[in-house]
């Protein structure tokens, strides 16, 4: 399966704009320079896996959304919504949420 780097870059730019971020702000979040991000968005450069994952984190999205244009498992953005909620938790709340998620994953439904 060939990767559509034009599509990936386009989806990165769209997501960045959805968040109201400039390229320089995304670069600060993931530790790359703005020329590099511009080149990635225009499919002039192909990022390493590490850089790609940092960009995903900076854009608060999942790799599958940027790579394929759709979130896996048909969750309709539910994963992103939960991730957004988790971001607002303090350390104690985050530990409790982690414990709950661990318990939830162990359940057999």
pLDDT at 59 over 60: yes
Smallest CA-to-CA distance from 56 within 67, 72, 43 is with 67
Question: How many whole angstroms separate alpha carbon 56 and alpha carbon 30?
Answer: 9
pLDDT at 33 over 70: yes
pLDDT at 74: 56
pLDDT at 26: 96
Burial of 49 (0-12, 13-18, 19+ CB in 10 A): exposed
Given a contact cutoff of 8 angstroms between Cβ atoms, the answer to whether 30 and 51 are in contact is yes
- Cβ of 17: how many Cβ atoms within 10 Å? 10
pLDDT at 68: 83
């Amino acid at each position: 399966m060939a990767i559509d780097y034009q599509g990936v870059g386009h989806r990165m730019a769209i997501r960045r704009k959805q968040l109201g971020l400039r390229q320089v702000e995304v670069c600060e979040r993931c530790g790359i320079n703005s020329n590099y991000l511009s080149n990635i968005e225009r499919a002039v450069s192909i990022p390493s896996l590490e850089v790609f994952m940092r960009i995903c984190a900076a854009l608060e999205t999942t790799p599958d959304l940027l790579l394929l244009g759709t979130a896996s498992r048909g969750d309709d953005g539910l994963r992103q919504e939960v991730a957004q909620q988790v971001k607002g938790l303090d350390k104690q709340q985050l530990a409790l949420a982690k414990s709950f998620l661990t318990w939830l994953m162990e359940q057999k439904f």
